[in-house]
A and B are shown apart, each in its own frame.
Chain A
Amino acid sequence: MKKVVFTILIVSLAIGLPFMVLDFLYKGAKEFRVPEELEKLVVDLGTGERDGELLLERYLPVPSTVELFFQSNTEGPKHLRLKSEGEMLGRTTPEVGFVVGRYTGTQSASASLVLAPGRYALYLTSGKEEGQLIVGYREIPIDQAEFARLSKIHGGDLNNPPSGYKEVYSAHLAGLDAHDEAIYTISTEKALDLGLSIYTSAQQGTVSVDFVGSTFRFRGLVSTEHRMCDQLELTLPRGEYQVKLSCQEADGQLYVFLKEGP
């Protein structure tokens, strides 16, 4: 038996070592890939530790969607915090945090936030490491009517879907106890363009809405911290998909709207 065991170990090593080398080379070839349309800010993390250092300060004259994109080639956690003078639609407080690890190549952290006019700023807390943090950002002004619609939802008037979206589920969450419960199912025999808008006014307890397919799971599309998921557009291959709700000791309401087709 000794021979068999050591033969297995040696054969495993003979196969595994080339895989480790190939993986190492694959990682080494990775670079930053910031989408061209974004403004780019490069932070040299090797210059020292940072404790809430201001990285970026901008002024929005009109309501805008702010798109953010982060990549870094260092291991340590980089804590970024975006604070806005005006309202951040869909969020309890006008600030949001991100933790960025080693994300290069196709890996990145990103977010899209709807901000009211005013200043917003991005702060960084990080250790001293040889490497860089890349921040990509873009501001896209929002049409006044569209901002008014989103502001209504932010204020608790959830039944304000975008044009073409139809309500498929709504519920009062108080007293509702659901564990990963399918609240809507879509079956399609061919590729389908789908738009998903989910809003909640819950401010307490646990609320999480997931969108689940056979090969993926979008987790926490809305929660008590992040209460709006507006016009998430996907092209789905044939198959069955479910909107699933987990909810305990929550308050407020939940609305789910769908749009099928382009």
Chain B
Amino acid sequence: MKKSQAPNTAQANKLFFLTVLLTIAGTAIFGTRLGMGTNLWFNEFLYILLPPLLLARLRGWSLEEVFKFRGTSAKNYFLSVLAGVSLWAFASYFANMTRLFLDSTFGPVNLTEGINSLESSLYQIVLFLVGTVVLAPICEEIFFRGFVQAAYGRYSPKYGYVITAVLFGAYHILNGLSDVLPAMILGAAMGYLVYVTGSLAASMLFHATANLSAVLSGLFKGSISPYPAGWVHLGAAAALFLAVLTLSQVEGEPEPEQKEPLGGVLFLVLTALLFTAAGVVEILARMGRLSF
């Protein structure tokens, strides 16, 4: 039987379930032992990057064709950076508002353990920064926009990137409930870039820019009030408008895909159950009914 030259949704859903399971188990078992920086590297290399690359190797897929390992125009690169900064600004505002809502509704969550592991070592800080700005944009883009979106593009040629964005956002529940919707918004933008340009480079650049903005803003976190002033709401709306305007200027022609049925639904349901459990655990922890 001839092997398919692109991933399908059954493979994407199985691998996504495996990645989520490995991330949860790996972080629970090794997280505090490794430290926050090293654990991020394990997550990106072993649980996110390795599975799709191994599958591609086993199936003999071309990375350039299947995962869209291609460049794009200088204009598109520039627009990706601009959109990355502006949409991150909006997503960051949105995450902060969600966090405030969760804090006031269910109570605050205590994450001092992870912070302690970062504060304890300069090596962990360097690993965390490189992991966030360099590794995450490459590994997560290969997995989500390269692999998962390629599969869902065959299920829904027009909205495959939107479904991928939902999965990308849901995956971020492991960072906390407040990160889910902002990650979905950023994921939709990165998926759109790949959908239109046919290039993973554009979304990697967008992702790196957004993460770098997050790191730089983190340096000032202690001196910024979490309660936004009036101008911050307007600024966030302006950032969203700028991001949409920028993305609308990106040039390219979406590649036609052949529509295929959805597969691996059981694994999708199991993944959804894992995410639901993660959300419930966070809410119980916020309500003081669980402690770690």
Contacts and interface: CB of A to CB of B under 8 A. Distances in A.
**Interface size class, chain B:** 35 or more
Contact of B38 (A15, A20, A77, A214): A20
Contacts of B227: 179-180
24 contacts: A1-B200, A1-B201, A5-B69, A5-B204, A9-B49, A9-B138, A13-B45, A15-B130, A19-B123, A19-B127, A20-B38, A20-B41, A23-B35, A23-B37, A23-B124, A23-B127, A27-B121, A77-B292, A99-B291, A101-B32, A102-B32, A180-B225, A212-B222, A214-B222
Contact of B41 (A8, A16, A22, A102): A16
Q: Is the interface of B mostly helix, strand, loop or mixed?
A: helix
Contacts of B70: 1
B198 to A, nearest CB: 12
Contacts of B142: 5
B68 to A, nearest CB: 9
B235 interface: no
Contacts of B225: 179-180
Contacts of A8: 134, 138
A18 to B, nearest CB: 9
Nearest to A18: B123
Interface string A174-210: 0000011000000000000000000000000000000
A217 B69 contact: no
Contacts of A22: 123
A75 interface: yes
B71 interface: yes
Contacts of A179: 225, 227
A214 B37 CA distance: 25
Given A26-B121, A101-B113, A12 B201 contact: no
Q: Most chain-A CB neighbours within 10 Å: which of B113, B120, B204, B291?
A: B120
Given A16-B41, A101-B113, A180-B225, A23 B135 contact: no
B123 A23 contact: yes
Interface of A: 1-2, 5, 8-9, 12-13, 15-16, 19-20, 22-23, 26-27, 75, 77, 79, 99, 101-103, 105, 107, 179-180, 212, 214-217
B63 interface: yes
Interface in B213-265: 222-223, 225-227
A123 to B, nearest CB: 16
Interface string B106-122: 00000001001000110
B159 to A, nearest CB: 26
A105 B120 contact: yes
A79 B290 CA distance: 13
Contacts of A26: 121, 123
B70 to A, nearest CB: 6
Nearest to B49: A9
Interface string B260-282: 00000000000000000000000
Interface string B10-50: 00000000000000000000001101011001000100010
Contacts, number: 76
Contacts of B223: 212, 214
Contact of B135 (A12, A77, A99): A12
B209 to A, nearest CB: 15
Closest 10 A-B residue pairs measured CB to CB? A23-B123, A179-B227, A2-B69, A19-B123, A180-B225, A1-B69, A20-B38, A75-B32, A217-B222, A23-B121
Given A5-B138, A26-B123, A27-B121, A215 B222 contact: yes
A26 B124 CA distance: 11
A2 B64 contact: yes
Task: Give the interface centre of A5, A26, A103 by most chain B CB atoms within 10 Å.
Answer: A5
Given A2-B69, A99-B291, A102-B32, A12 B130 contact: yes
B33 A75 contact: yes
Contacts of A99: 291
Given A16-B127, A107-B116, 10 more contacts: A1-B71, A1-B199, A2-B69, A8-B138, A26-B121, A27-B120, A77-B291, A77-B292, A99-B291, A101-B32
Interface in B47-77: 49, 63-64, 69-71
A100 to B, nearest CB: 11
Interface centre among B41, B123, B124, B142 (most CB of A within 10 A): B123
Contacts of B35: 23, 27
